[in-house]
Structure 1
Amino acid sequence: MRVGHVIVPADDLDAQLDFYTRLGLTVRFRDGDRYAAVTDGTVTIGLADASQQPVAGRTLLSVQIDDLDACVTRLVAAGATVTAPVTGPHERRALVVDPGGNPLVIYERLT
């Protein structure tokens, strides 16, 4: 069992593709301005305009990264809104808002 993909609303596909590639994901394919798929090699995230959303709404993703501080720095430099990192019992995490207004958690595991 694995997650095949998660659909995320995308009003500005170019801006959201830029955001997710800066996060470190790779573009799998793009279908005009209505849909694009990005992946970490395991999970695929579908960036979809209104015509491609099975259910209109918002999605909260959690993306594990290797270096939270470096990622936060890159995203802030690109103009993203990011909360200060919080340390939990198993991870450090921050809440990010992508260019489409979708909340996303980025986190790194504590060793």
Structure 2
Amino acid sequence: MLPDWKPQPNTEYSNLFYYDLLVHGQGVTNLITNKGMVWDGNNPIYRDEFEQHSYRGPEDDKMDGAIDTVEEGNILMNNHSLIASNSQDNMKALEDMLGIVTR
């Protein structure tokens, strides 16, 4: 998010996501700013204005949490792309998105 982003009155915000490289990067501290590595922690996942919807990727069980292999990095990259896909693995998120925008 841009540093000067401000929520608009009477607007609802939702964040739908899989655990991906960007989410993982928020858990890595920038030694200079002491904030998350992605946009200095200024992300929907950490903003109270956003309703959070987290999903498990189809290969999440293959990760041990350390994210120290190429395979685990690839899973995070795949998760990053999954949320914007029409893959069968993303159907729950797509159904939720439809429900959010039509409520």
Higher helix share: 2
Higher strand share: 1
Bigger Rg, which one = 2
What is the TM-score with the length of structure 2 in the denominator?
0.26
What is the TM-score with the length of structure 1 in the denominator?
0.24
